[in-house]
Structure 1
Amino acid sequence: MTLRLGDIAPDFSQESTEGTIHFHDWAAGQWVVLFSHPADFTPVCTTELGYTAKLKDELARRNAKALAVSVDTLDSHGRWVADIEETQSVTLNFPILADPDRKVATLYDMIHPNSLLNLTVRTVFVIDPDHKIRLTLTYPASTGRNFNEILRVLDSLQLTDHHKVATPANWQDGDDVVIVPSLTDTEEIQRRFPKGYRALRPYLRLTPQPNK
């Protein structure tokens, strides 16, 4: 099953380190960062899970929470969590799905045989409160994920969902944004963007971030 942006993220029920997860119910109107790991006790993933635990407040500020998945068993996860907490100096504060039957991995097309045989590749899904997939990122096993980019995308998605803007290259929260080309009514532009804008081209109009 190939999942594309805008698709409804598949629902599932699966055991986790924090009990049974009924995914759509568990999401409960929040944004979800769902990210997969090839297996337990892998070095790069150990650092990623530790770093994600440190981001709990940043995610909560964005009405978001994390959910990890690995193809190993719940018993294995428990031993791995102890390693993560000791080596990364954190307390793990989000669930890790146990997926030994590959159910979640298959639903989310996380098995790429040419890369990792029957193990999950390292994919990130950002899923909105309506259960729609808004971002996918797939990393090679050797490269740790950039969680600052994941937070940046959450900021961009939440901004552009509520204002008729897009975010330019390398945008960070607080930078100027782009007025969408489809907005052409002058009075509406003035009403929506009272701080004014700079038109570099008719289709490229920069304005201060409207929610700042």
Structure 2
Amino acid sequence: MISRVSVIRKCFVSTPYVGPRFRPIQQLRFVSFKQVDQPRIRIGSIAPNFKVDTTKGPIDFHEYIGDSWVILFSHPADYTPVCTTELGAFSNLKPEFDKRGVKLIGLSTEGVDSHKGWIKDIEEVQTNGKEFSFPIIADGKREVAYKYDMVTEEDFGALEQGKTVATIRSVYIIDPLKKIRLIMTYPASTGRNTSEVLRVIDALQLSDAKGVATPVDWTVGKEVIIPPTVSDEDAKAKFGDFRKVKPYLRFTKV
């Protein structure tokens, strides 16, 4: 009897990509998209690696991350109205992400040529003609979407049949250690809030640097929370003055 592990191992095949400047890459051919085999990723998981074609050429995802923060966000298809507005908004905010050492990378379930045509539309209607300057992954086989658990319960049947699904609409914030720090998944009808993604980056980077937590609706410059694990004495030494509302709820500025 052949085990599932041995079957999956046989699915790794060397597939040369016929195109300029492309080297042969290893691609995973899934036996199926069965839900029982669905990978599970959580906050704190190492971001699954993959090698894939993009509008900026082939990438190894872990090499692309390097020592940067990365935002990976996905779309179910090209030329979709809500996704067009989102990609344009991320492109317009790219200078702000650059200041924070954050790379952007999109994903859609069609090929590079289709992506490039879509980018022209985005530049026309969303970026006022400015260049769209970050890569979009070509995930035509939905393998990255499957690996990152982007599909809802109802869409597994469509995924296995190779049909378009409407729920590959997730956002992942990944840190320089390649750990997933935030996951958000949106329905097809609801556009994402790029300002919220930027706010979370600020909060995560501040928390990592200063050992603090951020309260509801926090933005840069507002008070932060001193973790309950830090004593009053240590808090005074580390942060100086702080505001104590409850023994477990103390605010300061950093």
| Common topology (TM > 0.5) | yes
* TM bucket, shorter chain: over 0.9
Q: Secondary structure at the match of 1:134?
A: strand
Other-structure match for 1:178? 225
Q: Secondary structure at the match of 1:33?
A: strand
Write the distance in 2 (CA, Å) between the matches of 1:99 and 1:108.
12
Partners of 1:71 and 1:101 within 8 A in 2: yes
Q: Secondary structure at the match of 2:202?
A: helix
1:191 corresponds to 2:237: yes
Other-structure match for 1:204? 249
Partners of 1:115 and 1:121 within 8 A in 2: no
Say what the alpha-carbon RMSD is for the aligned residues. 1.3
Query: What is the 5 A alignment of 1:1-212?
Result: 1-88=39-126, 89=128, 90-114=130-154, 117-118=158-159, 119=165, 120-184=167-231, 186=233, 188-194=234-240, 196-208=241-253, 210=254
Runs of 4+ in 1 over 4 A off after TM superposition: none
Q: Tell me the TM-score normalized by structure 1.
A: 0.94
Deviation track 1:143-192 (CA, whole Å, cap 9, x = no partner) reads 11001110110001001112221100111111001100000150x21221
| Count of matched residue pairs | 207
Identity %: 48
Provide closer, same or farther for how the CA distance between residues 206 and 185 of structure 1 changes in structure 2, counting only shifts above 3 A.
closer
Task: Compare the two structures and name the one with the higher strand fraction.
Answer: 1
Write the distance in 1 (CA, Å) between the matches of 2:222 and 2:155.
38
Q: Secondary structure at the match of 2:107?
A: strand
Write the distance in 2 (CA, Å) between the matches of 1:113 and 1:18.
32
Write the distance in 1 (CA, Å) between the matches of 2:115 and 2:210.
41
Which has more radius of gyration? 2
Q: Secondary structure at the match of 2:53?
A: strand
Please list every run of 5 or more consecutive structure 1 residues that lacks an aligned counterpart in the other structure. Answer: none
Q: Secondary structure at the match of 1:55?
A: helix
Write the distance in 1 (CA, Å) between the matches of 2:252 and 2:115.
47
Q: Which amino acid aligns with 1:202?
A: P
Please list every run of 5 or more consecutive structure 2 residues that lacks an aligned counterpart in the other structure. Answer: 1-38, 160-164
Task: Say which structure, 1 or 2, has more relative contact order (CA 8 Å, 6+ apart).
Answer: 1
Q: Tell me the TM-score normalized by structure 2.
A: 0.79
